[in-house]
Structure 1
Amino acid sequence: MGKGYLVVCYRSPPTEENLAAYAADAKAAIEALGGRFIARGMPVKTFEAGQNERSIIIEFESTDAAIRAYEDPSYQAILPRLGVMRDMRVIEGIDPF
């Protein structure tokens, strides 16, 4: 089984106040649950139906680990602080060859 990735795409921008209340605690919770942030920020370019909103990719040892992290009560308690809709999904990594 390959690594698991939690892919997050915001649907709207958070307020600065909400982002401040969310970001540090969310990062700490995800890292404590085994996640490693590999990309985050605004898109360099969007295509097709892509939205010009913040996106994040977090790597875990497996898809099961990514799902457990998302469902963990410590992370779930932090999620509402951001106050925005997100498209969040878990995908499995592939071996390059």
Structure 2
Amino acid sequence: MAKGYWITFYRSISDPGALAAYAKLAGPAITANGGRFLARGTAAKAYEQGIAQRATVTEFDSLEQAIAAHESAAYQEALKALGSACERDVRIVEGLG
């Protein structure tokens, strides 16, 4: 079964406090649903249309598990804490193989 990857690119952060409140809830919600953070932090370098802002890559045992983590009640609570504190692009993709 192919793994699932949850990739988030932040374009801008307008409220670091709300982002911190989100992170306190989101991290445990994601790991409780089988997620493993592979990378998270400010981009070391950005190319093409990229922005050197925060990014995260999280691995799951399956695509379905990644989607279920995003849709979980605990993660939805984290999203409420985040509110409109940032502009970001969240994608869940299937791994190769």
In the superposition, the TM-score normalised over structure 2's length comes to: 0.89
- State the distance in 1 between where 2:56 and 2:20 align: 16
Matched residue SS, 2:13: coil
Alignment partners' CA distance in 1, 2:7 and 2:20: 21
- Counterpart amino acid of residue 78 in structure 1: A
Structure 2, unmatched stretches of 5+, are: none
More strand by share: 2
User: 1:36 matched to which residue of 2?
Assistant: 36
Provide structure 1 residue ranges, at least 5 long, that are not aligned to the other structure.
Answer: none
Aligned residues: 95
Which of 86, 90, 93 in structure 2 is aligned with 1:91?
Answer: 93
Aligned equivalent of 2:2: 2
Q: Give the letter aligned to residue 75 of structure 1.
A: Y
Q: In the alignment, is the contact (CA less than 8 A) between 2:5 and 2:93 conserved in 1?
A: yes
Give the share of equivalent positions with the same residue, in percent.
45
**Which residue of the partner structure matches residue 26 of structure 1?**
26
1:56 and 1:63 mapped to 2: Cα distance?
17
Q: In structure 2, the residue corresponding to 1:26 is in which secondary structure?
A: helix
Which amino acid in structure 2 is aligned with residue 86 of structure 1? R
* 2:12 match: secondary structure: coil
Give, in angstroms, the shift of residue 37 of structure 1.
0.5
- Equivalent residue of 1:11, what SS? strand
| 2:22–2:81 Cα contact (<8 Å) kept | yes
- 2:63 and 2:92 in contact (8 A); partners too: yes
Counterpart in the other structure of 1:16: 16
Q: Following TM superposition, where does structure 1 have runs of at least 4 consecutive aligned residues deviating by more than 4 angstroms?
A: none
